[in-house]
Chain A
Amino acid sequence: MAGIVGYGAHMPRHRIKVEDIAGVWGADAPSYKKGLMLREKSVPPPDMDTITLSVQAARNALKRASHVNPADIGAIYIGSESHPYAVKPSGTVVGEAIGITPHAHCADFEFACKAGSEAMFVGLSHVDSGAMDYCLSIAADTSQGAPSDALEYSAAAGAAAFIMGKDKLVAECLFTHSYMTDMPDFWRREHEFYPQHGGRFTGEEAYFAHTLGASKAILEKSGMKPADFKWAVFHQPNGKFPQRVSRMLGFTQEQIDPGWLAPRLGNTYSGASPIGLTGCLDVAKPDDLIFMCSYGSGAGSDAFIWKVTERIEEVRNKAVGTHKLLDENKIYVDYGTYAKFRRKIKKND
């Protein structure tokens, strides 16, 4: 089956700590840190958006797939809920920047936080069908959280890019399974700055029901059990949910650690589980099995089972690692700077 021939991530250097957000709103920082298991989140500076994040992540993916000529990539799909334009694709800009144009198919995907895994799913299917040799699937977001809302403590920015192909695989996709229902847990309508959500309803009935639904189905389909996997990564709207759902399924903390980035990164929405996958690939060894399950409000989950190949050792250090991006060269900003960066200060002009 098709798989990943090159992968890369990117994220802002800027961070804001939970205490700095809570302090402004008079909220109890320890309860947010404990309740949501969040310490800090990434903050995109003013010149960074879903397109620029995608370009950099795609360049890192190409560094790890140096045998791939960008012009041979048959499609570019970007999944995000923060495409800079309502009407004008992100994919054309990114495709132009990395040399995919003009003979390629392009689409921007949207499905709340699982738009990125959709792009991966479709890319894998195209390659698997033989319609094209390579597909570039990108998951990227500069996500929005309303001031003082619980989402503001988590809404972060980041991207992961995957070149899907059939030869020289870094990780083969062994199984996929998707699960979806109509679920009014989280939404943003046209012309609204920030999403609305159903509070605690977004947990049991939404995140957990769909993540468990897809995860259990793919385990059954594959005949595998949690102990068969070296690593596991789940959508991470905060630190707590992926930890809890992994335990419910029977995965251990050691299995989720390399892909459990939310406590340090925040929720990168469409980017969350795909960036987590790159975190796992940072440490994976040949033949390791990786379990992955995304979640997008509305709602659905895409589950994947990846098997790492020997080529991981060859390409891993050809581009910057996800944990290095996460932990090094950080710049902490205060709430004022964050508010300016995120255009939360509205002016008349």
Chain B
Amino acid sequence: MRTVCVVGVGMSQWGEVWRRSLRQLFVDAASKAIKGAGVDHLDSLYVGCMSSGLFVGQEHLGSVMADYLGMRGLPAMRVESACASGGMAIRAAFMEVGSGMSDIVMASGVEKMTDCDGDQATYALATAADQEYEVFHGATFPGLYAMMAHAHMAKYGTTREMLSQVAVKNHDNGALNPVSQYPFKITKEAVETGVMIADPLHILDCSPITDGAAAVIMTTEEIAKKLGKPYVRILGSGAATDSIALYQRPDMTTIKAATLASERALKMAGRKITDIQFAEVHDCFTIAELAILESIGVYERGKAGPATLAGETARDGKFPVNTSGGLKSKGHPVGATGVAQMIEVYKQLTGQAEGERQVKGSPKIAMTQNMGGSGGSSVVHIVEVA
């Protein structure tokens, strides 16, 4: 398999972007990625998107986006794996370039979530859960993650303060990210006195509803070198599924799909988890970040919360997590999130993270972990600076 590199990245404005449509958001991000990479054409395009049909009534995104990018005729398709759609789009592009089938491929993600009201958005998101056994009975994602949080608290003694610190830490990082939807710091008190969503999760334990797009150009190392731009290598890609319904899992405190995806990506990369220096993980809720860090083996079970409280996952800690601000502060346009995670590690590894957000010590290797639903799917990439 050929070595696959990321050589150019682009993001649209993220947030409540009332004046840009689904396709405009995509074109904003894609144009920046093409310009950043300096490529003169694409061989193919993958568009990660969870639910454009329910959010804005538009399907058939491969054709729509190729057309509006000015590239009619381009092979293009949509990739869907709920909130892991973006990460899966990267995996698809990785396979296409790695296999030798194409040389220059765009992996992108987009979601336009604010054209419908909160109830409709909640419904659209809930289609990533088990409709027959969860959603029809009233479960929503905040409810499912709240159950995971209670289980984690009961089994490992995880505290309210540990959850709060995840949000505080990610907002500290997001406050320094120019694309963040909520670029401001918050306090533990603000998290714990915010509106209750699903006990024990308050509003600031939850990632927001976001409009946004992200795109990366993936190519061979030979072409990346010729382009003369900073680039990173994707050393390994791992993906996994699990039961879509939370109740069918023997242990609600861990996310098996993340464990399997991480193991597979590390195996492909020929690395151990201890080789990884920082990570972007799928903090759709504060409890998710703790459960993922334990599931991918960064921490033993029950140890991620205390480590977070001790500052180990802060930007200047020994294992920085979500230096972008994560889904929590940067925002979570579901289909775009996985691609934006790749963009953050690209920026950090190539020394292009903005100002104080840049991790010190020139890290060489990082991980992205993207997840669908309550862990029904996950995709992990291991990335190394060239």
> Interface on A for B, CB 8 Å cutoff?
28, 31, 35, 197-201, 204-205
Other-chain residue from B16, B114, B118, B195 in contact with A28 (beta carbon distance below 8 A): B195
Distance A177 CA – B16 CA, assembled complex (angstroms): 29
Given the contacts A198-B117, A199-B118, A200-B114, A31 and B195 also touching, CB distance less than 8 Å: yes
B259 to A: closest C-beta gap in Å: 36
Contact: B195 with A205, CB < 8 Å? no
Distance A289 CA – B18 CA, assembled complex (angstroms): 36
Which residues of chain B (54-68) have a CB below 8 Å from chain A?
Answer: none
**Nearest A residue to B195 by beta-carbon distance?**
A31
18 chain-A/chain-B pairs, Cβ below 8 angstroms: A28-B195, A28-B196, A31-B195, A35-B195, A197-B117, A198-B117, A199-B114, A199-B117, A199-B118, A200-B16, A200-B114, A201-B16, A201-B18, A201-B114, A204-B16, A204-B18, A205-B18, A205-B19
A188 to B: closest C-beta gap in Å: 15
Q: What is the interface residue range for chain B against chain A?
A: under 10
Chain B 190-216 per-residue mask, 1 if CB under 8 angstroms from chain A, else 0: 000001100000000000000000000
Q: Which 10 A-B pairs have the closest CB atoms?
A: A31-B195, A199-B117, A205-B18, A199-B118, A201-B18, A28-B195, A200-B16, A28-B196, A201-B114, A200-B114
Q: Return chain A residues, CB-CB under 8 Å to B195.
A: 28, 31, 35
**Nearest B residue to A209 by beta-carbon distance?**
B18
Chain A facing B: main interface SS: helix
**Nearest A residue to B120 by beta-carbon distance?**
A199
Distance A204 CA – B118 CA, assembled complex (angstroms): 16
Q: Return chain B residues, CB-CB under 8 Å to A28.
A: 195-196
Q: Return chain A residues, CB-CB under 8 Å to B196.
A: 28
A251 to B: closest C-beta gap in Å: 24
Distance A70 CA – B90 CA, assembled complex (angstroms): 75
Q: Return chain B residues, CB-CB under 8 Å to A35.
A: 195
Q: Return chain A residues, CB-CB under 8 Å to B16.
A: 200-201, 204
B346 to A: closest C-beta gap in Å: 31
Q: Return chain B residues, CB-CB under 8 Å to A201.
A: 16, 18, 114
A28 to B: closest C-beta gap in Å: 6
B377 to A: closest C-beta gap in Å: 29
Q: Return chain B residues, CB-CB under 8 Å to A198.
A: 117
A84 to B: closest C-beta gap in Å: 29
Distance A204 CA – B19 CA, assembled complex (angstroms): 11
Q: Return chain A residues, CB-CB under 8 Å to B19.
A: 205
Distance A102 CA – B84 CA, assembled complex (angstroms): 70
Chain B 99-139 per-residue mask, 1 if CB under 8 angstroms from chain A, else 0: 00000000000000010011000000000000000000000
Q: Return chain A residues, CB-CB under 8 Å to B118.
A: 199
B318 to A: closest C-beta gap in Å: 38
Distance A199 CA – B113 CA, assembled complex (angstroms): 12
A221 to B: closest C-beta gap in Å: 27
Q: Return chain A residues, CB-CB under 8 Å to B114.
A: 199-201
Chain B 1-26 per-residue mask, 1 if CB under 8 angstroms from chain A, else 0: 00000000000000010110000000
Q: Return chain B residues, CB-CB under 8 Å to A200.
A: 16, 114
B21 to A: closest C-beta gap in Å: 14
Q: Return chain B residues, CB-CB under 8 Å to A205.
A: 18-19
A25 to B: closest C-beta gap in Å: 13
**Nearest B residue to A198 by beta-carbon distance?**
B117
B9 to A: closest C-beta gap in Å: 28
Distance A200 CA – B120 CA, assembled complex (angstroms): 13
**Nearest A residue to B196 by beta-carbon distance?**
A28
**Nearest B residue to A205 by beta-carbon distance?**
B18
Distance A31 CA – B194 CA, assembled complex (angstroms): 8
**Nearest A residue to B197 by beta-carbon distance?**
A28
**Nearest B residue to A206 by beta-carbon distance?**
B18
**Nearest B residue to A203 by beta-carbon distance?**
B16
Q: Return chain B residues, CB-CB under 8 Å to A199.
A: 114, 117-118
Distance A28 CA – B195 CA, assembled complex (angstroms): 8
Distance A197 CA – B119 CA, assembled complex (angstroms): 12
**Nearest A residue to B118 by beta-carbon distance?**
A199
Q: Return chain A residues, CB-CB under 8 Å to B117.
A: 197-199
Distance A28 CA – B193 CA, assembled complex (angstroms): 13
Distance A204 CA – B211 CA, assembled complex (angstroms): 15
Other CB < 8 Å A-B pairs besides A28-B196, A199-B114, A201-B18, 15 of them? A28-B195, A31-B195, A35-B195, A197-B117, A198-B117, A199-B117, A199-B118, A200-B16, A200-B114, A201-B16, A201-B114, A204-B16, A204-B18, A205-B18, A205-B19
Distance A327 CA – B16 CA, assembled complex (angstroms): 39
B293 to A: closest C-beta gap in Å: 31
Distance A197 CA – B358 CA, assembled complex (angstroms): 42
B206 to A: closest C-beta gap in Å: 14
A197 to B: closest C-beta gap in Å: 8
B152 to A: closest C-beta gap in Å: 24
**Nearest A residue to B19 by beta-carbon distance?**
A205
A252 to B: closest C-beta gap in Å: 24
Distance A198 CA – B18 CA, assembled complex (angstroms): 11
Q: Return chain B residues, CB-CB under 8 Å to A31.
A: 195
Distance A205 CA – B15 CA, assembled complex (angstroms): 14
Distance A195 CA – B19 CA, assembled complex (angstroms): 23
**Among A198, A199, A204, which residue has the most Cβ atoms of chain B within 10 A?**
A199
B55 to A: closest C-beta gap in Å: 13
Q: Return chain A residues, CB-CB under 8 Å to B18.
A: 201, 204-205
A322 to B: closest C-beta gap in Å: 33
Distance A205 CA – B196 CA, assembled complex (angstroms): 27
B25 to A: closest C-beta gap in Å: 16
Distance A277 CA – B16 CA, assembled complex (angstroms): 33
Chain B 170-193 per-residue mask, 1 if CB under 8 angstroms from chain A, else 0: 000000000000000000000000
B365 to A: closest C-beta gap in Å: 40
A31 to B: closest C-beta gap in Å: 4
Distance A206 CA – B117 CA, assembled complex (angstroms): 15
B125 to A: closest C-beta gap in Å: 15
**Nearest A residue to B16 by beta-carbon distance?**
A200
**Nearest A residue to B209 by beta-carbon distance?**
A200
Q: Return chain B residues, CB-CB under 8 Å to A197.
A: 117
Distance A35 CA – B194 CA, assembled complex (angstroms): 11
**Nearest A residue to B116 by beta-carbon distance?**
A199
Distance A201 CA – B195 CA, assembled complex (angstroms): 21
